[in-house]
A and B are shown apart, each in its own frame.
Chain A
């Protein structure tokens, strides 16, 4: 089942001679449980594409349909709510809140969505336990290893049962073994949660984990495998 559909998406920065076409006419469909890996050289527009798919940027032209909403046409004030309930984000630098424990970090999107604190605590603990961090609930990020941080970040992304998980270089700060482990967990968790996953990465070692590989160059999708 399709959960997200992008049609003829353009993103242009600047005007006239300074114009840069970061994303150029990209159309893509994401299906439930499918893991899509976007690769390409630096500056090819893959991160911009990720931003456009996740409602972090508005396209200059085209549409991004998700859950019946066209993100391109949605009022600015409604975008955070869609991001909160429809998307889960996994960051290259983890971006865990340094003053919150692993469990509290996972609780944040739940509490932002209005889930009562007790329920949020229980769900966060369940998610972390499922990702092998049941004994790290009360650890602050500084006490977690790189792999543990990224697993916490994945648990946070899964907290509100998102339709789509967007991951930007999720293995960039991890060694090869940990990278594969994290991608495996991301894939397994997404399948279980019936969420689509889009990963942007330079890491060719994780290609095997993807159901579909997209190659970008100069803002265009040049190949799909």
Chain B
């Protein structure tokens, strides 16, 4: 049965291409929207996830690193280091600044003063150059580099101080802004008052109980709040969820409904176009059950072909987007791809089931005489 269905479907390459293309573009629409949604969500947590800390300590009341601004005295690091279970404490700076590139470009960046002793809060993925910038050096995100014509050796001014680009990083884009990394000591007193930090990143001793250390810090230092990496990452993502994701989710849901409906219509139309052929099959002895299996096999085959085409179209579109709008970070998860595949298959089954009643009523005798 499947072989009849497959041969009947695949011989007409133009019709298959048009139908699979229709399904494929719908898949692309859904996947790009899903990729945008997941990209936004993932981006919001990448910095904290890759910070190398066990606990993130900020000013009390500041629950994320994106939306709120924390400022703490640098000498607090020594007090934190004395808490049992703490191995080391690294002060970092993270704040939005304006970079001066050339004569006219002033892109904004989330400037991170990483801890040079341990590499804490430094860039985690480097495309070119050094991972950790040295004195007078800066690592900039690839998108910022591309948009502003920066390359290794280029000069960037921050608060009147010159930095030389020593590395180009990846995964450090944050929607409309990008991360840039310099040594903490290079910007202490430049973007914050002297002897200040925005966060302390705490590394625990081996075997230390993270919950106990967290509670201890919160109890001993009323003006600060400690978060586990999971908590601060979740807080960052929740901030983004609250700001942008409802809009993206709405767009995604609309796109999903449109995409899945187009898949359904394409499969439905492809089925109805073959009514005469199904009438012939009924006349020569195909029962309704057999006919349903043939129709279903054709629809599923079309859905699978369309899905494969959709993946290829999505890959091409994602490359194009990456080139034209580099800030738009798309992230495709296997779960999301599997979900869209399941939805496409499900819709194909529904779109096949709808006309089955009509196919069952085809009069096999109708194929005998014309006119």
Closest A residue by C-beta to B290: A112
Are B284 and A112 touching (Cβ within 8 A)?
A: yes
Q: How many pairs of residues, A versus B, come closer than 8 Å at their CB atoms?
A: 87
Q: Is A123 an interface residue when CB atoms closer than 8 A count as contact?
A: no
Q: Bound complex: CA of A82 vs CA of B288, how far in Å? A: 14
Q: Are A108 and B284 in contact (CB under 8 A)?
A: yes
Residues of A within 8 A of B3 (CB): 111, 117
Minimal Cβ-Cβ distance residue in A for B294: A112
* B345-371 CB contacts (< 8 Å) to partner A: 363-365, 367-370
Bitwise interface map of A from 19 to 59 toward B, beta carbon under 8 Å scored 1, else 0: 00000000000000000000000000001001100001100
Cα-based distance from A85 to B286 in the complex (angstroms)? 11
Q: Within the assembled complex, what's the spacing in Å between the Cα atoms of A99 and B10?
A: 8
- Contact partner of B283 among A82, A95, A113, A117, CB < 8 A? A95
Once the chains bind, are B365 and A57 in contact (CB under 8 Å)?
A: yes
Interface residues of A in 137-170 (CB under 8 A from B): 140, 156, 160, 168-169
Is A100 an interface residue when CB atoms closer than 8 A count as contact?
Answer: yes
Bound together, the chains give a CA A176 to CA B283 distance in angstroms of: 27
Query: Given A109-B285, A112-B290, are A99 and B12 neighbors across the interface (CB < 8 Å)?
Result: yes
Cα separation A77 to B285 with both chains bound (whole Å): 11
Whether A81 contacts B287 by the Cβ 8 Å rule is yes
Q: A91 interface residue, CB < 8 Å from B?
A: yes
User: Are A80 and B369 neighbours in the complex by a CB distance under 8 Å?
Assistant: no
Taking a contact as CB atoms under 8 Å apart, the answer to whether A109 and B284 are in contact is yes
Q: A99-B12, A104-B7 are in contact. Are A80 and B282 (CB under 8 A)?
A: yes
| Contact among A83, A99, A100, A140 with B284 in the assembled complex (CB-CB below 8 Å) | A83
Chain A contributes a number of interface residues (CB within 8 A of B) equal to 36
Contacts A83-B284, A83-B285, A100-B11 given; does A50 touch B368 at CB 8 Å: yes
| Of the residues B7, B286, B368, contact of A168 by C-beta under 8 Å | B368
Judging by beta carbons under 8 Å apart, are B4 and A84 in contact? no
A47: B residues at CB distance < 8 A: 368-369
Tell me the complex Cα distance, A109–B4, Å: 10
On chain B, the residues within 8 Å of A168 by CB distance are: 368-369
Residues of A with C-beta under 8 A to B281:
108, 112
Chain B residues, CB < 8 A from A70: none
- Residues of chain B lying within 8 A (CB to CB) of residue A93: 367, 370
Shortest distance between the CB of A136 and any CB in chain B (Å): 16
B201 close to chain A: CB less than 8 A:
no
Partner of A111, one of B4, B9, B363, B369: B4
Q: CA of A89 to CA of B285 in the docked complex: distance in angstroms?
A: 10
Contacts A56-B364, A99-B11 given: A92-B286 contact, CB under 8 Å? no
Say whether A12 faces chain B, with CB atoms less than 8 Å apart. no
Q: Which residue of A lies closest to B3 (CB)?
A: A117
Determine the residue in chain B with the shortest Cβ distance to A101. B11
Q: How far is the CA of A204 from the CA of B305 in the complex (A)?
A: 51
Show 19 residue pairs from A and B whose CB-CB distance is below 8 angstroms, ordered by the A residue: A47-B368, A50-B368, A51-B365, A80-B288, A83-B283, A83-B284, A84-B285, A84-B286, A91-B283, A91-B367, A91-B368, A92-B369, A93-B367, A93-B370, A97-B8, A99-B11, A99-B277, A104-B4, A112-B281
Which residues does B use to contact A, with CB under 8 Å?
1, 3-4, 7-9, 11-12, 277, 280-288, 290, 363-365, 367-370
Other than A57-B365, A84-B284, give 20 A-B pairs with Cβ distance below 8 A.
A50-B368, A56-B364, A56-B365, A80-B287, A80-B288, A82-B285, A83-B283, A83-B285, A83-B364, A87-B285, A95-B367, A97-B8, A99-B7, A99-B277, A100-B11, A108-B281, A112-B284, A112-B290, A156-B284, A160-B285
